[in-house]
Amino acid sequence: MPPMRLASHASACGVVAVAAVVATAAAVAALGAVHAARPSPPPRDPAITARGPIATPDVATPAASLPPPEPPGPFASNVRREDYVGPAVCGECHAEQHARWRGSLHAVMNQEADRPGAVAGDFGGVTVAYGGGRARFARDRGAPVMALTDARGVTRRYRVTRTIGARALQEYVGVLVGEGGEETDGVERRLPFGWWLARPGWYPQPYFDAWFGAEHDAAGQPTFDAFTADPAPWATRCAWCHNTYPFELRLLRDPTIGHGPEAHVELVTTERAAAERARLRDDNLLPVDALVTVGVSCESCHLGGRGHADGEALAFAPVGPHVRRRADAPPLPPPGRGRDAPALVNALCAQCHSTPSPRYPDGSAVRNSTEALDLAAGACAGAIACTDCHDPHTRGAGAGAPDEPAHLAACTRCHAALADPTAAAAHGRHPPGAASCLDCHLPRLVTGVGAFVRSHRISSPGDPAMLAAGAPGACNLCHLDRSIRWTVDELRRGWGVALAPDAAWGRAYGDLDHPVGLAWLTRGAPPVRLAAAAAFARHGDRAALPALVAYLDDPVAHDRMWLLLAIEALLGRRLTTREYDPLAPPAVRARQARALAARAATGRLASPR
């Protein structure tokens, strides 16, 4: 089949320069505020702290020679370092929200490794062989340590200082240390192994990170160095979305980075701030001593809360005498309109939920963490806010959980007639409970961290671009055993969608009368194959096992792992390393895959050997 269009960005989280900023706001009144002098901030929440004190602010009141600020308004500054108070102060009045937030995933996006319960991985002396070397995960003086020995016998020891993530995957940040535990350069770097809770165990980054290609080169050597930390400091990438810091730092970065409010406003800066801007645009290194909290807390979304703590209303939008609207961007909704302005709510979420991703033919993201961009590009852009479905203070039910009433209410608020179950069943042509709005318009085709998750691009299941290219369609993600001709006929009969399959469809599916699910597995591009594998696993359809097992020798480690997850879900058990070791050398793994394929062909995979 011709390759499915996957419009990929060339770089990863948060440091890519995006050519076009997605405009999520409507034209409304300009931002404006006054800045009142404030006392120095109180101590931060002792339970969730940064690795240093809040630094002296670098942005000051604009000089008289600079362009004037927006006209004064009822809101003080909320972007400068001294405008931030930390979550403990927020919790003094908002105790319920503070308590819920402390149990949320936002609170543990990053954690310091010495925080009780922070480390999920097994640092009990476990050794993992990989690529001719070995990785040992142990503790030294109580601190978790990765000792990575490459194929030449060179060992590098890293003391873990921070964690990244908590529910499905946990990665680690650390510093290089000597035999005595002393730091060598003190630079915190992302470490090359992660603990993947989706299949508990230690894996090199290409196994859970979709940005990597073939695991080995033509000579059979690993293309990823699993025994050396990322050369770039952790604070140049991961830190920007996993922690809370003054919004001014976002405004000082490269203006082509980011889809949040920073795409709409800019700072009127002093000479000192200009120097900080030059430094950030040179190395993109977030000053860790400026963190308000390790992890995502109140003021990542609500912005600096000192004015609110002093009795002012929350502005939500960035304000202050040093903040002005960018000339090349539409304005955000006016300060104070946060909760009833989807454009502003979604822009705040887009600060982080807008990472690069390859795209399906309709523009939907293939990979997660770009939900805000998908929502902004979908059919209901501007009418729905992220918070209509998601409470950022809570942990959430997780991928694969049943639809919650709030999710469906977000749809029926506009589509009121479909709030009636009878009308909804007639529209969807499914009995109540068999399929929801989300199943048809937000299908599970996005590769998450531990499961396939719903797209956030609200779309039609009859999109001709998706169907013609053989991309994952909502109808056949449930009806895996049906043909694409059946799908076309049903769309025409039930919803009046007129589609005319041509030769291109034949190249995508092969026989238009054969089951689409198997066509996706055997003919689809890798993202399509993985989405299909996850769908077969959700439905418990073991007919797919022979086709799934056939790809366990895929050269891309990430793709192999998602197929392995689907196989094990269908079997209801984890394959033993004797049956299949995903970390084994290519020749060993290929031999194991052939043996599994032979067993799958005769239906003998149910029990371990």
Of 582, 556, 555, nearest in space to 567 by CA: 582
Instruction: For residues 446 and 352, give the distance between their C-alpha atoms in angstroms, rounded to a whole number.
Output: 17
| Per-residue model confidence (pLDDT) at position 68 | 38
pTM of the model: 0.86
CA atoms of 149 and 139, how far apart (whole Å): 16
Residue among 396, 332, 398, 309 nearest 92 (CA): 309
| The residue type at 441 | H
Count Cα neighbours of 603 within 13 Å in the Cβ-side half-sphere.
2
Nearest to 5 by CA among 453, 463, 465, 440: 465
Give the whole-angstrom CA distance, residue 26 versus residue 389.
22
Contact present, 370 and 412 (Cβ < 8 Å): no
Please give, one letter per residue, the 3-state secondary structure of 2-19.
CCCCCCCCCCCCCCCCCC
Q: Is 19 exposed, middle or buried (0-12, 13-18, 19+ CB in 10 A)?
A: exposed
SS3 sequence, 299-365? HHHHCCCHHHHCCCCCCCCCCCCCEEECCCCCCCCCCCCCCCCHHHHHHHHCCCCCCCCCECCCCCE
Supply the pLDDT for residue 74.
63
- How far apart are alpha carbons 247 and 301 in whole angstroms? 10
Residue that has been written with the tokens 């102060």 in this structure: 89
Instruction: Locate 444 and state its tokens.
Output: 């599970």
Decide: 296 and 107 in contact? Cβ < 8 Å: yes
**DSSP 8-state secondary structure symbol assigned to residue 573:** S
Note the maximum CA span of the chain. Answer: 82
Distance, in Å, from the CA atom of 153 to the CA atom of 136, rounded to the nearest integer, reads 13
Give the residues of the chain that fall short of pLDDT 50: 1-72
Q: What is the pLDDT of residues 515-569, one digit of tens each?
A: 999 999 999 999 999 999 999 999 999 989 999 999 999 999 999 999 999 999 9
* Cα 563 off chain centre by: 20
Whose CA is closest to 130, among 200, 197, 202?
Answer: 202
Query: What whole-number distance in Å separates Cα of residue 563 and Cα of residue 534?
Result: 8
Q: What is the pLDDT of residue 39?
A: 31
Q: What angle do CA 199, 200, 204 make, to 5 degrees?
A: 85
Write the Ramachandran bin of 295: left for phi over 0, alpha for psi from -120 to 50, otherwise beta.
Answer: left
Number of helices and strands in the chain (H, E): 22, 15
